[in-house]
Amino acid sequence: MIYVLLFLGFLLVELIYFKIAERYNILDKPNERSSHKILTIRGGGVIFPISLVVALALGQVTWILAAVVGIIALVSFIDDMYSLSQGPRAAIQVLGSLLLFYDLDLFEVHWIFIVISLILLIGWINAFNFMDGINGISVLYTLVTLYSFSLIPVNHVHTDLYITLALASAVFALFNLRIKAKAFLGDVGSISLAIILGYFMIYTILNTGGNFYYLLFFSVYGVDAVITILVRIINKENIFEPHRSHLYQFLANEIKVNHLVVSACYAAVQLAINLVFIHFVGFENLSWFEFLVSLIIIAGIYFAIRLRVIKQMSVL
């Protein structure tokens, strides 16, 4: 019964936000880089920091995680409306990340691992934000990742939290997982989700004896983001400027594959990777070499598809 009430509560909160957004013109207006063609409500992802507040009230999450997500979500929401400079956003992300490390007792490990973790977490937050560019892609990816984490024994203590977040995701999907989305995550949603998933990743690694091979749970988004950045650097482009250079953008915007099909493919591929390593390979059985080979294979397949799509684009 509690989950039905949570779903209905999240739905009510989202509908109330839509009224506020329409009243105060918090809308995403299409431009030449957009993948959408109509005015769409921005910031629908506000449901995720709100869901953490609910989770805190239910005793499902630490107050530090809820506070970090809440503060960064507030800054991101302001950025959605007024476009803040990179400085304040970067500073709050670094500070928030360090607070999460404190919450996870990460400061007990060698400082070099703290530095690496900070770089990876900040990179993940921004990569996830960059990848949120077409309808349904990030909410489906989030559901896949939450499900995958829930299968790991050390994460069973978070089962109620996963369900709460999945319910919030389901509510948002009602308005985003459609041909003509009614709402987008906005930075407030994408960055909140990235922090939450990053938190679960660090927790999982720390509680499985430092098994960083679970990073493969982020491999599809990670490979697309990293290779796209490298290609843009090679082409001497400003990697901080908006663009449409990700593979999913090529597929959806240039090849004209249905956005929902592209989003479903990204989620399905990541789910397949996760299940193979959970049920057939076993993360506990992986070696450094096998982990690197796995990443190289994933990146190689991605790059081959990317080249083929670019070739197809050239003849359109």
Residue numbers in the known binding site are 129, 187
- DSSP H helices, the chain, are 2-23, 47-57, 63-82, 86-103, 111-131, 137-150, 159-176, 186-206, 219-234, 247-249, 259-275, 288-314
- Residue 25 · residue 12 · CB < 8 Å: no
Whole-number Cα distances in Å, 194 to 73, 105, 207: 11, 20, 20
For the record, the structure tokens of 79 come out as 């950025």
Please spell the DSSP secondary structure of 76-134, one letter per residue: HHHHHHH---HHHHHHHHHHHHHHHHHHTTGGGS-HHHHHHHHHHHHHHHHHHHHH--S
Question: How many other CB atoms sit within 10 Å of the CB of residue 8?
Answer: 12
Binding region for Mg(2+) = 129, 187
> At 41, is the secondary structure helix, strand, or coil?
strand
What does the alpha-carbon distance between residue 63 and residue 58 come to, in Å, rounded to a whole number?
11
Whole-number Cα distances in Å, 54 to 100, 119, 282: 19, 30, 34
Question: How many other CB atoms sit within 10 Å of the CB of residue 268?
Answer: 13
- Residue 52 · residue 66 · CB < 8 Å: yes
What does the alpha-carbon distance between residue 71 and residue 122 come to, in Å, rounded to a whole number?
16
